[in-house]
Amino acid sequence: QVQLVESGGGLVQPGGSLRLSCAASERTVRTYARGWFRQAPGKDREFVAKISLNGGLTYYTDSVKGRFTISRDNAKNTVYLQMDNLKPEDTAVYYCAAGSGYTALQTTVNYWGQGTQVTVSS
């Protein structure tokens, strides 16, 4: 059973930056596509970004394009989400995910992290 543990959340002012990390407990996660989702208060969980097995493919939801960057380090079993120019509407609990299919990751997730809170406020 793969366990995913997020870190790096916190409180930041609008326009600021945060870097989220998600470490996996097993090397088998290297064979999975990885991604990030978020859930704001009173809203459904939504897809944010995903990255393929070797990092060659990435995809972002429109609202974060040009501001967020997803990357992975397979030697460390870790995926990252660099978030720049943060806005109040980015406030949410951010969850990392791992899935067996890159194309399907937005709808099919095999493993979830426990979530980390990101709050963007002045």
* Best mean pLDDT range from 6-15, 26-35, 102-111: 6-15
Q: What is the mean pLDDT of residues 50-75?
A: 96
CA distance 84 to 107: 26
Work out the percent of the chain whose per-residue pLDDT is above 70: 100
At 26, the pLDDT band (50, 70, 90 cuts) reads confident
Residue 4: per-residue pLDDT: 95
Q: Under a CB-based contact definition with an 8 Å cutoff, are residues 52 and 85 in contact?
A: no
| pLDDT of 28 higher than 90 | no
Of 37, 4, 17, residue with least CA distance to 84: 17
